[in-house]
Chain A
Amino acid sequence: MTGLRGGSPEASVAAQPGQAAPAPTSGGDALLTVTGLTKHFPVTRGIIFRHRVGLVRSVDDVSFSVAPGETLGIVGESGCGKTTTARMIVRLIEPTAGQIMFDGNDITHLRQGAMRPLRREIQMIFQDPYSSLNPRHTVGTIVGAPFELQKVKTEQGTKRSVQELLELVGLNPEHYNRYPHEFSGGQRQRIGIARTLALRPKLIVADEPVSALDVSIQAQVINLLEDLQGELGLTYVIIAHDLSVIRHVCDRVAVMYLGNLVELASRDDLYARPRHPYTVALLSAVPSPDPVNRAADGRRERRERIRLTGDVPSPLNPPSACRFHTRCWKAQDICKTEPPPLVERAPGHLAACHFPENS
């Protein structure tokens, strides 16, 4: 099961002759399997004679799978393609290449109409609770919309179901007729979650579900997501940039850098023994809420930290081979010429690096 994701086209063809190769999974029948998922956005110039001047390689050959009841976290810096990946999974963006299997069906290129029944099973929680709720609709309309769109009749009627949903996410069912502006950020995120849950989906893709919230409210929403998972047997794909949030909620974690999946491992393994230098750097960049690092004279003693210099390169013109080599302290010539394959470095722990750490 090694060498699934060769960076070069030849390598990936070799790994997946013709049909889709099984993606790395945590075992069992996966609910969602993504193989070689790629999205390139063309950059065009000109009005009458539009011509392509470049290609933003947002997501390049990403493969993973999620087992039922599992939570997969995707982390990375802005521009690494995590949101694009999420949007491709829910089919808001058409993938350039690759395959998305959901519950045993290939949904990669399903048409709108064929996709519609599946929309019940795959739902999304959006990042910004302010822009993802229509300000002119009442909470009742917002949370009831999925029933109407899917023409689902519930036994007790839509209103009763909506009120039950509101109660489920910890809101007062009497707020049915209120408008989003009457709620705080955390409450709005709960409204968004209630809408997501309306049709009892199997898979929820959450794109930065708590990053717009205050710490205390963030904790409430995280606890809510965990409770709901236990109660309703949900499967989550959670996108976040906050490594401590990801560690708290996820069973397995995928790390992305510039459109590539660089590491995929179980939560405990990833945080205890990160293999990819980028993961190591990300983890060490998280400020520690522990003020012990102070010398006797009161001057700050700096924590041993791996400092990445510079910014993430542009995905318009990503570095050759290993895309991390421009910022990597272990980079050697091979990193510039040969893309490191995503290989299993330990059971269930995949990393794409020529010189992995902790091995």
Chain B
Amino acid sequence: MAEDDGRRQPGQAGGRLARLRARGRSGREPEVQDAGAGPGETGPTAMLDIRDLRIHFPTDDGLVKAVDGVSFALERGRTLGVVGESGSGKSVTSLGILGLYNTGNSRMSGQIYLDGEDLVAADQARVRELRGNKMAMIFQDPLSSMHPYYTVGDQIAEAYLIHNKVGKKAARAHAVDLLKRVGIPQAATRVDDYPHQFSGGMRQRAMIAMALSCDPELLIADEPTTALDVTVQAQILDLISDLQQEYGSAVIIITHDLGVVAELADDILVMYAGRMAEYGSSEDIFNRPGHPYTWGLLGSMPRLDEVRQERLLSIRGTPPSLINVPAGCPFNPRCDYAARNNGRSENEVPVLRPVGPGHLVACHLSTDEQRRIWAERARVAS
């Protein structure tokens, strides 16, 4: 359905028109609507409820479907881990939630309910009020996401000043408090330092302080520890989980490191080529994964807690281009089990369906087959 859009789109200016078109489109989502019958169905009680989110970018080469039908719900105090290879749409999803793609040359459709309020339909000014206030983000690379000309304190205080009626003094005191909270020694003096005077781990702590400055109820961390050493990573992961317990916020953690996800997440969303491949509790994903892509990710990873394998079970090939997503199941060219489905994998987009309570898999393999193959793989590995 969006293919024809892709052909018409090149050269078309984005802006209001694109937004109108995107909104118009969300009304007619025929086939993949049932993909939304996933976690989104937990009802509007969930604090964050995303239904059939699509974020597409028209380019000269075609339509890039960076996020294509993602639905999930997240409660306060819970952590969702989003995993997938680069280009699977993890970061675009998160920036989309913050409303950073609902403008210009991008098209966003679906619904993002934050406490019942749809952010996709809301106007920019309203999303802006919420961004940095009710929802905040921790970026991957603290050095490039902090402004080198402003002191760390100024940058932490900025959002607090904008969203609250307070003076500069109060905001500064707040910044010092936050730096203390995230474990920066001598916070009262370090608040006047510039980002380059901080080490990598401290910068990431300062980033977290910045995100926390307005007590956000939704905290999105995009690869928060990728740039850090393991010992510092452990500190930051502990900090995020401590702060979550203290503030009771909902956390979305985006990462390609399955170890980090296992450590923090209650639920896990596995994304592939902008779509949901699998969704479930972290026990489901690690102990009874149903999607061949999840198997591949788990097999690719050398593990310290298991006997050393002679060979890693890598996934062959490379992730597809988001302009030419393979027909049928997007994973089928790399899948070892695609041949078992009598051509369905090549022709039919698999629907996200439940294989257990709260555990959804988008795969043509039957639930029994999935269980059998996973058991076999686990047996071979041990």
Which residues of A pack against B, CB within 8 Å? 77-78, 184-187, 214-220, 222-223, 226, 241, 243-245, 247-248, 267, 271, 281-283, 285-291, 294, 298, 300, 302-303, 305, 307-309, 311-312
From A271, A300, A302, name the one whose CB has the most chain B CB atoms within 10 angstroms: A300
Q: List, in ascending order, chain A residues with CB within 8 A of B232's CB.
A: 77, 311
Shortest Cβ distance from B298 into A: residue? A289
Asked if B300 and A216 sit within 8 Å, CB to CB, the answer is yes
Query: Residue-by-residue, is B169-182 near A (CB-CB < 8 Å gives 1, otherwise 0)?
Result: 00000000000000
At the interface, yes or no: B333 with Cβ under 8 Å from chain A? Answer: no
Shortest Cβ distance from B282 into A: residue? A291
At the interface, yes or no: B103 with Cβ under 8 Å from chain A? Answer: no
Partner of B302, one of A186, A220, A247, A311: A247
Asked if B234 and A244 sit within 8 Å, CB to CB, the answer is no
Q: List, in ascending order, chain A residues with CB within 8 A of B201's CB.
A: 311
Partner of B86, one of A214, A222, A281: A214
Q: What 7 new A-B contacts, CB under 8 Å, besides A78-B200, A247-B302, A291-B262?
A: A184-B318, A215-B301, A219-B313, A220-B316, A222-B314, A244-B304, A247-B304
Asked if B318 and A289 sit within 8 Å, CB to CB, the answer is no
Asked if A216 and B315 sit within 8 Å, CB to CB, the answer is yes
Q: List, in ascending order, chain A residues with CB within 8 A of B262's CB.
A: 287-291
Q: List, in ascending order, chain B residues with CB within 8 A of A186's CB.
A: 318
Asked if B301 and A219 sit within 8 Å, CB to CB, the answer is yes
Asked if B259 and A287 sit within 8 Å, CB to CB, the answer is yes
Q: List, in ascending order, chain A residues with CB within 8 A of B301's CB.
A: 215, 219, 244, 289
Partner of B300, one of A78, A218, A247, A303: A218
Q: List, in ascending order, chain A residues with CB within 8 A of B230's CB.
A: 77, 241, 243, 282, 285-286
Q: How many residues of B contact A (CB 8 A)?
A: 52
Instruction: Scan residues 211-251 of chain B and give those whose CB is less than 8 A from a CB of chain A.
Output: 229-235, 237-238, 241
Can you report 7 A-B residue pairs in the complex whose CB atoms are below 8 A from each other? Answer: A216-B296, A219-B315, A223-B314, A281-B231, A286-B304, A289-B303, A308-B234
Asked if A187 and B318 sit within 8 Å, CB to CB, the answer is yes
Q: List, in ascending order, chain B residues with CB within 8 A of A281's CB.
A: 231
Asked if B302 and A222 sit within 8 Å, CB to CB, the answer is yes
**Distance A280 CA – B62 CA, assembled complex (angstroms):** 51
Shortest Cβ distance from A305 into B: residue? B234
At the interface, yes or no: B305 with Cβ under 8 Å from chain A? Answer: yes
Asked if B318 and A287 sit within 8 Å, CB to CB, the answer is no
**Distance A221 CA – B286 CA, assembled complex (angstroms):** 24
Q: List, in ascending order, chain B residues with CB within 8 A of A298's CB.
A: 266
Shortest Cβ distance from B286 into A: residue? A291
Q: List, in ascending order, chain B residues with CB within 8 A of A309's CB.
A: 235
Asked if A77 and B311 sit within 8 Å, CB to CB, the answer is no
Asked if B312 and A243 sit within 8 Å, CB to CB, the answer is no
**Distance A76 CA – B89 CA, assembled complex (angstroms):** 32
Partner of B231, one of A217, A291, A308: A308
Q: How far is the CB of B274 from chain A (nearest CB, A)?
A: 16
At the interface, yes or no: B41 with Cβ under 8 Å from chain A? Answer: no
Asked if B259 and A289 sit within 8 Å, CB to CB, the answer is yes
**Distance A218 CA – B308 CA, assembled complex (angstroms):** 16
Asked if A217 and B318 sit within 8 Å, CB to CB, the answer is yes
Q: How far is the CB of A189 from chain B (nearest CB, A)?
A: 12
**Distance A329 CA – B164 CA, assembled complex (angstroms):** 43
At the interface, yes or no: B85 with Cβ under 8 Å from chain A? Answer: yes
**Distance A271 CA – B316 CA, assembled complex (angstroms):** 29
Q: How far is the CB of B223 from chain A (nearest CB, A)?
A: 12
Q: How far is the CB of A107 from chain B (nearest CB, A)?
A: 31
Asked if B235 and A288 sit within 8 Å, CB to CB, the answer is no
Q: List, in ascending order, chain B residues with CB within 8 A of A305's CB.
A: 234
**Distance A282 CA – B234 CA, assembled complex (angstroms):** 10
Q: How far is the CB of A308 from chain B (nearest CB, A)?
A: 5
Q: How far is the CB of B3 from chain A (nearest CB, A)?
A: 24
Report the 9 A-B pairs with minimum CB-CB distance, sorted nearest first.
A219-B314, A287-B259, A219-B300, A248-B302, A219-B312, A291-B282, A216-B315, A77-B229, A285-B234
